[in-house]
Amino acid sequence: MTAPTPGAAKAAPGPLIAGVVLLGAGVYLLVHALSAGDLTLGGPGLAPVIVTGLWVAVAACYVVTAFLERIAEAEDKPRWLTPFLLLGGLIAYSLILKFTVVGYVLATVVFFVGSARLLSVRPWREVIVRDVSVAIGLSLAIYFVFTRLLGIALPAGVLPL
């Protein structure tokens, strides 16, 4: 583990921001729940109000504690770029699966190599052969097990499978 930045625990704005976001979301959902009407006992509108009301109350407590006690933020320094790049990759991957003719195997190989690269700290020359071969093997195995043995359709796409 890396050493914590001096003073990080005290001044950490993270929890406070998270608390405010939570509180905002809770208020929005509570208003949404209240506008649905029919808050009778046994009706469908009551539980949403109770749950979102609880949400607002708990989120408010969290904001207060975050403000007063300055909940110590995690000591390690996360890098948010990598997970969001990965997320972008995932979304692109699933959209390609659903809406294009690229096909399961090809899309999976490309995604696999890209994602493994993002998650790797070693230079790509050392791992590219491993990544590509695992990607091809895994995607072909999944494709055939699902389409041939289980009868679940996966897009064949441009490859002559």
Write out the residues near other proteins by the rule CB under 8 A. 1-2, 14-15, 18, 22, 29, 32-33, 36, 41-44, 47-48, 51-52, 54-55, 58-59, 61-62, 65, 71, 73-74, 76-80, 82-83, 86-87, 90-91, 93-95, 97-98, 108, 111-112, 115-121, 127, 130-131, 134, 138-139, 142, 146, 150-154, 161
CA distances from 72 to 2, 11, 129, 138 (A): 16, 9, 42, 42
Shortest CB 161 distance to other proteins, Å: 8
Helices (H), the chain: 8-11, 14-35, 46-69, 81-99, 104-119, 124-144
Query: Smallest gap, in angstroms, from Cβ of residue 125 to other proteins?
Result: 14
SS3 147: helix
Determine the length of the chain: 161
Report, in Å, the least distance between residue 92 CB and other proteins: 11
